[in-house]
Chain A
Amino acid sequence: MARTGQVTPTTATPPRGRQPAALRAPFTRRARLELLFCLAAIPLGFCLLLVPYWVAGPALAVALLAPAYDSTWVAAAAAIPAILLLVVLATRIARRLGVVHRRLAARLLGERVPPPPPLRPGRGVAGRLAAGLGDGPGWRAVAYQLLKLPLAVVEAYAAFLWVAGLANLSYPFWWGLFRNHPPGVTLDPVPAALPFPGRLFPVATFAGTFAAFAAGAAMVLAAPWVTGAVVSADRRLLRRLLGPGRLAQRVRDLEQTRALAVDDAAARLRQVERDLHDGAQIRLATMAMQLGMAREKLDDEGDPEVRQARELVDEAHRAAKDALAELRDLVRGIHPPVLDNGLADALATLAAGGGIPVQLTCDLPRRPTPAIETIAYFCAAELLANAAKHSHATRVTVQVAERDGELVLAVGDDGAGGADPAAGSGLAGLAQRVRTVDGRLEVASPPGGPTTVTAVLPLRA
């Protein structure tokens, strides 16, 4: 069994039936689908042959319309714009055909090739030409079309093996129906196909039909292997040439995994907050309450031991309350729970908590993902803290809005200005944090102020 795993899955798993895989191969669903793919490949593959006509057509037309000139030169001159047109159109047409190929492969072979990044069309003739020339995925699609041509020949041969083989197999069954002539009558022999296209052999007698049958059986048994091999080669080409390309695919994968990582981190922090809220915080609050109740019961008049006990309970009571406050501050730094209710509510508390009056406007028609909300929140927190610490501002504005499908957070103050992201302030760290989701931070802070720091974030990581 000299088959590779890609041709057939039966090598991976031991055959279940009695018959060897070679006999079963022609009857599998896989063989049928691959045959269909080969049949579909014939028109698709050969449509490339039409291309020379596109080039030659206009040139010929010009040559015929201008008989006064040397037609060769005119045709050559006319061919130049035709070729330019072809350059512009080739990648686009190949991309369109690529869509058809990918769909066929997905439908019939289960081979799901992700589409390449879309073409960025240029402006004007030169722009279009440049876009066409620089369209890597487009040229790879052209390469696929070119390589598909010989491949389609083999695929057509594979289809021929199937069709002709099945036809040959039928000879002994209908021979008796049509050839029951009286003895002495000589009829022309019926041609039967050989595995070599175009070569026929004559079948004149009933015994001869068995030769046709044998040839047919050989062809049908061989057909799945030929089909499998050529389809497997086609698959490889498809993946390589009609997919997004290794770099683009890698970028896409990284973007996806990064978004997952960012979302996952946000979700984890949120879970930590919830666990603390339902666990440690509740226990501490209950403990503080019970200590408060115990404290009330311990009357310190008289008995010195009771007084001592009350002092201890007092201390424990204070400590529990302090721990509760510390835990609350800590959790606010991890994931303020009010963020679950949206940025507007969370920023309102943040704005009210600082020392400087803050004017807050928050207008988000769509809610960003939790990870983005978290980043925006901590950006605002850091910027507000910066304004309070360094700027000597008397007034701060925080504006959150959606612009062109992005979240724009602008924090402005009327302070001293001169904030420099390069000077090791928190701004550099902030810029990094924003960049983890492809956001950007813009700082406008001339000496003397005013300062405006704008963070632009996507609505989803």
Chain B
Amino acid sequence: MSVLTSPPAAGVPRVKVTQVRVLRSEWTKFRSVRSTRWTLLIALVLMIGIGALFAAVNASQYQGFSAADRASFNPVTVSLSGTTFAVIAFGVLGVLTMSGEYGTGMIRSSLTVVPRRLPVLWGKLGVFAAVVFTTSLTASLTAFWLGQALLSSHHLGVSITSPGALRSVAGAALYITVCGLLGVTLGTLFRNTAAGIATFAGVFFVLPPLTSLLPSSITNHLTQYLPEGAGSVIWGQTEGVSRALSPWTGFAVLCLYAVILIAAAAWRLGHSDA
């Protein structure tokens, strides 16, 4: 039992909560659960595989494209087609990052050792953003090069220095990262995996097609401001959005959603019983 009261060795830092220490703890949590690695791997495969698939199919069918289709053909966006699917995987991962803690009861341990609470949320968002951005940037770069290689066999490929290419490649990663952060906030707000994922899927995959049922006088003023419609412009995806915002304005709108939801999540975490 002597270990209980052994005096701290010289130079051992004093027991104290700091944001950097909470970040380190959140990194330990993130890397030590098997499902995280699987989700990241699935997202990588989706992003690169689907991009390659779309590139290959478009390359082989380009001969039969109409003049209008050829005019709107964007080789960069085609190679990044997997982005939409990667958003599902990263959104689910984002929700799970927080709802997993509530589902297992881990949150009570987490908040007991950090009773000020908010550092836990900042730590989670920070680790999540860093890991997801790194992973998705790797994926979008790979998808771009693989896609262009497939397209260039039909002389359709472009280089990363072509106008908008780099922005789209980096933009896909930014878009995925912010969408994932929205997932984290939904997990924090609902504290429940099913509700979080359902809401995430509703906003990104059910709401956009539903708006097409509305009269175009409304749709024209709505779709470009929805998270999906606003955020997708940065990687070149404007399908279904008649009056797309400029890439960075659209991304700013998406970030605004994120900021609002992060504020709501922080309020909920700080003010309600765990």
Q: Are A and B a genuine interacting pair, yes or no?
A: no
Using a CB–CB cutoff of 8 Å, the interface residues on chain A facing chain B are none
